[in-house]
Amino acid sequence: MSNDLASRIAEFVRAAGEHGIASVSGADSDRSAYAHSVTGFSVDVGAVVYPESTEQVRVLVRLANDGDISLYPVSIGLNWGYGSRSPSVEHAVVVDLSRMNGIRNADEVSVKNPVLVIEPGVTQQQVFDFLEANHPGLTFNVSGAGTGTSILGNSLERGVGYLGPRREDLFGLEVVTGRGDILRTGFRRLGEESPLAHAHPYGLGPMTDGLFFQGNFGIVTSACFRLFPKRPANVAVSLRLKSDEQLGEFIDLLAELKRDGVLHTVTHLANQARTHSSLFQLVASYFSDRCGFTAEAADAEAALCLNTVVPDKWSSLAGVSGTRASVAANIFEIWRRTRKVAGMKIVSDGMLRIAFAVFDRFRQRQWARFQAAVVSAVLPLHGLAMGRPTDAPIDNLLYKYGALGRLDTERLDESDCGLIFVNPALPLDGRLVEKVVRDIERIASDAGFEVFITLNVEGPTTLVGVINLLFNRSDSEQQRSAQALAAVLLECIHGHGLSLYRSRVDLMPEITREDDPYWQTIYQLKTVFDPNDIISPGRYNLSKRTG
């Protein structure tokens, strides 16, 4: 960092302090937690500031404009596999919004008014606890990322929850633009007291919300978040593909079920590596905690158990909810349409608990022990369907890299776990998706990597692929190979005429192009909202700034 920039950042931090804004700067090692992430890519971070109100965010934007300093806002910053808290350019000041964690309309929420007005630091666990304590009839769209991840940051990144894409749950944004103005989108522009403010997502005239999803035009300081009534009956439908050869046909069937409204949630179709890795730690824990196995024996037993109980190359999980009669009718329809290609299992909270009690009792026998272990692992994952967030998938990663119990889930970036997502948007076309999947499997296998794939059937025409590469970050050769493989996989995706639906922060120069009229227009919009390009320079946009 140049001396000039260092002194401007020091001045920025000093002035922020005068406004009561806490910070971390200088040689403080806490700052490095923002510089490194599980992707293995690192940037130097100028400082970290922790505003506690919208007004303080405005102060920071004003000071950044005065000092020509780049800001990088994060809600909680657990954007694992995409760059976590690391900024899009070197030496940026991270604006950590986790201390803004209020539910602003807590007293007004009800079954008739199922909308929360949340700040960036509100976590999945916080919303779950709030609803359990105050509105047990309401639930929300929970993601598979941990309990401590944000609602707002994840939705702005266009994350995916169990019920559907999170972008559909968020509206009525309050944004501090790069100019330092406050923009309220939709009908929030009429003021918080307006009966329309938290009810009508679309407002009047052009919808500006979209600019702030995967955008860099401002810092979102609060937003309306949609809740859902709990339905009387909820089951998860697990389908296991009988033959790997029929993957394309199976995807087309799932698409048809989605289009016809038979499957209600996102359908998660996972390859064996992904399914086994999601279950491994909890299965192994069952063997050590309940059956007295040593850690090593528990791991061996878990591998055997998963190969025996879940041998399928591909299996899907989706939810069906409604009245008991409608759920029964939908289950029958799913079975009728898929029975030639897939085996079906129906899972509900109650059934899992009973099954666990029975199998656990007979755990001396291997068969019962295996069933009990798998059921114990499925329970927290199934909780997602009930609106219960879980840390199980993150704990799996900590376990794999020897850090479970030593590091909290929020500190995954400090473990040896290396994780890179390469996530394409795909049309809901079985033949094409199968072709892309086969190419990805082949390329990864040639590079000596196991590839973890989930295909999420999101909507009637859309599917997104979640492709992750795991590696040990303490092994620099492995890290280099994983990063190189990620680059080849991206080429493969582009080669099919496709694109990512969400991108790692270090990858922005690869996904934007200066000679593309689309990105030129996006850059022109930047000059309207953030003329000095101080907010997340180059994030999903072109930029002339280097730091």
Ligand X SMILES: Cc1cc2nc3c(=O)[nH]c(=O)nc-3n(C[C@H](O)[C@H](O)[C@H](O)COP(=O)(O)OP(=O)(O)OC[C@H]3O[C@@H](n4cnc5c(N)ncnc54)[C@H](O)[C@@H]3O)c2cc1C
Which residue among 40, 51, 67, 159 contacts ligand X (CB under 6 A)?
159
Q: How far apart are the C-alpha atoms of 285 and 295, rounded to whole Å?
A: 8
CA-CA distance, 54 to 174, in Å (whole number)? 9
SS3 content of the chain, % helix, strand, coil (to 5): 45, 20, 35
For ligand X, which residue of 9, 59, 145, 444 counts as binding (CB under 6 A)?
145
152 near ligand X, judged by CB under 6 A: yes
Contacts of residue 309, defined as CB under 8 A and 6 or more positions apart, other chains included, come to: 370, 371, 374
* 81 scored as a contact of ligand X (CB under 6 A): yes
Applying CB under 6 A, the span of 67-75, 250-258, 346-354, 362-370 interacting with ligand X comes to: 67-75
**Phi-psi group of 409: left, alpha or beta (phi > 0 → left; psi -120 to 50 → alpha; rest → beta):** alpha
The burial class, CB within 10 Å (0-12 / 13-18 / 19+), for 200 is middle
Examine residue 114 and tell whether it contacts ligand X (CB under 6 A). no
The total number of residues shown for the chain amounts to 547
C-alpha 253/C-alpha 341 separation (Å) is 9
Binders of ligand X among 421-460, rule CB under 6 A?
none
Burial 406-420 (b: 16+ CB within 10 A, else e): ebebbebbbbbbbbb
Residues 490-519 binding ligand X (CB under 6 A) are none
Residue 371 lies near ligand X (rule: CB under 6 A):
no
Binding of ligand X at residue 165 (CB under 6 A)? no
| 144 contributes a contact to ligand X by CB under 6 A | yes
The single residue among 33, 74, 94, 522 that binds ligand X, judged by CB under 6 A, is 74
Task: Give the single-character DSSP code of 93.
Answer: E
Q: Are 385 and 327 in contact (CB under 8 A)?
A: no
**All residues at 6 or more sequence positions from 524 whose CB lies less than 8 Å from its CB, including other chains:** none
Residue 87 has which token pair? 């900024």
48 binds ligand X (CB under 6 A): no
Which two structure tokens, joined as six digits, stand for 46? 């100028």
Report, in Å, the least distance between residue 81 CB and ligand X. 5
Q: Which stretch binds ligand X (CB under 6 A): 125-133, 147-155, 290-298, 348-356?
A: 147-155
Print the binding letters for residues 209-248 with ligand X: x by CB under 6 A, - otherwise: ----------xx----------------------------
Return d(Cα 172, Cα 183) in angstroms, integer: 10
Tokens 């949340």 found at:
118
Q: Which H or E run contains 527?
A: helix 517-529
Look up residue 335 and give its two tokens.
């079975």
C-alpha angle 281-284-286 in degrees, rounded to nearest 5: 110
Q: Which of 93, 157, 249, 252 binds ligand X (CB under 6 A)?
A: 157
- With binding defined as CB under 6 A, does residue 100 bind ligand X? no
Cβ distance to ligand X smaller for residue 16 or 38: 38
Binding region for ligand X (CB under 6 A) out of 74-82, 179-187, 401-409, 513-521: 74-82
Contact between 131 and ligand X per CB under 6 A: no
Please report how close the Cβ of residue 448 comes to ligand X at its closest, in angstroms. Answer: 22
Q: Does the protein bind ligand X through residue 153 (CB under 6 A)?
A: yes
Residue 121, Cβ density class (10 Å: 0-12 exposed, 13-18 middle, ≥19 buried): buried
Q: Contact at 8 Å (CB) between 85 and 77?
A: yes
State the minimum distance, in angstroms, from the CB of residue 72 to ligand X: 7
> Does position 537 bind ligand X by CB under 6 A?
no
Q: Is 541 in the site for ligand X (CB under 6 A)?
A: no
Binds ligand X (CB under 6 A): choice among 73, 418, 430, 538: 73
Which of 24, 63, 93, 160: binder of ligand X (CB under 6 A)? 160
Strand partners for 176? 182, 219
Choose which of 47, 94, 97, 347 interacts with ligand X (CB under 6 A): 97
List the one residue from 37, 70, 79, 371 that touches ligand X (CB under 6 A).
79
- What span, in angstroms and rounded, lies between the C-alpha atoms of 543 and 545? 5
Q: Find the shortest distance in angstroms from Cβ 169 to ligand X.
A: 12
As given in the structure block, the two tokens for residue 377 are 């692992």
Which of 120, 186, 383, 418 is close enough to bind ligand X by CB under 6 A?
120
Write down the least CB distance from residue 134 to ligand X, Å: 23
What type of residue sits at position 313?
Answer: K
In whole angstroms, give the CA distance from residue 40 to residue 421. Answer: 12
CB of 381 to ligand X, least distance (A): 11
Q: Does 418 bind ligand X (CB under 6 A)?
A: no
Considering only the stretches 145-153, 200-208, 253-261, 366-374, report the one whose residues sit in contact with ligand X under the rule CB under 6 A. Answer: 145-153
- Shortest CB 38 distance to ligand X, Å: 7
How far apart are alpha carbons 172 and 198 in whole angstroms?
A: 7
Nearer to ligand X, 321 or 454 (CB): 454
Q: Is 77 in the site for ligand X (CB under 6 A)?
A: yes
For helices 392-400 and 272-289, the axis angle rounded to 10 degrees is 80
Binding map of ligand X across residues 259-298, x = CB under 6 A, - = no contact: ----------------------------------------
- Nearer to ligand X by Cβ, of 175 and 440: the residue is 175
Which residues of the chain form contacts with ligand X (CB under 6 A)? 73-81, 97, 120, 143-145, 149-150, 152-154, 156-157, 159-160, 219-220, 393-394, 397, 419, 536, 539
